[in-house]
Amino acid sequence: MKKKEIRSLFRYHCTRIPREVYLVDLQTVMLQEAHKAYPSHEEVDQWADRLLKQSEAVAIHAEFVDYCPITVSFGNSPNTLVNKYVKFMASDGRKTFYGYWQPAIRTPAPLLINLPGYGSSISMHPQLADQGFHVLHISPLGYTEPDRIHPEMQLPDGNWPVLDHTARGLKGGYEDWLSDCLLAIRWALQQPGVLPQMSLFGTSQGGGGSLLLASILGEKVRCVCADLPFLTDFPVTELEGPAYSILKPAYEETDHAQFWNRLGYIDTLSHAHRIHVPVMLSAGGLDHTCPPKTIEHLFSKLDCTKQYTLSKKVVHTHSRESMVLFSAWLHLYA
């Protein structure tokens, strides 16, 4: 039974039941559907191992881009002008994608991998580079280039298609997104002066993606900072809010068992049993995009060194609080 049919059924038979009860019933339906369809731990293990092996079979070529929007030093970042955009090209013909490379001032130095939020903007973190880390920001799937975005790749509602395509089983979903990241990480680990392990950090999609990559890469990862992580506890969200509602059309137009099964592989909760490195999680008390209850559920499932910070007045955004938490956790464990 599809979601719109469920809603109609509840409205017809439960017109005298308070709306709160109706919503609880709808959430129960989604939880039951997802519970039956989500992959087992063994299936998640096989999925993660397959993605890693597939990426290892692909050759990656990268070249620095002769383009820099910053022409003078600013702030407290003496190495700003040596930062460079990186163009990634793979041997399997996938779309070219980009990154942003910030080398540490002194080497050898640890590697940090930063992943984008759902807007896919390319960002820099000079504070962390100046603190003794190499930093690679990755922008998968070619949505964004150094000097432009590609709106023709967006869905009609203006959102990027990676989540919708995942739920529908189409090319360009999170398997491809994560594969791009794995290739870029391999390149970064081969750069001069880079120590052989890395840590991962990001906000929203970047936080959720960091957790998924930590699961896939295993002992190659030292720690994770997942700020307001997206891709977490899909059924509890009822597919509501600015981010999770992207899934509504796919839910209504596809088989529900397949829908939940596909999402189950990229739900960070499905990977909690695989993550054994220190993990920092944070949530915002005013965040209606990635609700704190989803992040708290993930925190309860993790069996590792972990920290959870709830900032009561934080909305869904990368914030000053985020950078302070990132820096402290990375200095402890990266």
pLDDT in tens, 226-249: 999 999 999 999 999 999 999 999
Q: Against a cut of 0.85, is the pTM above it? A: yes
CA atoms within 13 A on the CB side of 50: 9
* Mean pLDDT lowest among 26-35, 97-106, 248-257: 26-35
78 within 8 A of 104, measured Cβ to Cβ: no
Q: What is the DSSP letter of 242?
A: T
Q: What average pLDDT does the chain have? A: 90
DSSP strand pairing (279-284 vs 306-311): parallel
Averaged pLDDT for residues 253-262: 98
Averaged pLDDT for residues 26-33: 88
User: pLDDT-derived band of residue 72, with 50, 70 and 90 as boundaries?
Assistant: low
Q: What pLDDT, on the 0 to 100 scale, is given for residue 82?
A: 65
105 within 8 A of 91, measured Cβ to Cβ: no
Residue for token digits 């959102």? 159
Torsional sign, CA 282, 286, 288, 294: positive
Q: What pLDDT, on the 0 to 100 scale, is given for residue 27?
A: 78
Averaged pLDDT for residues 136-145: 97
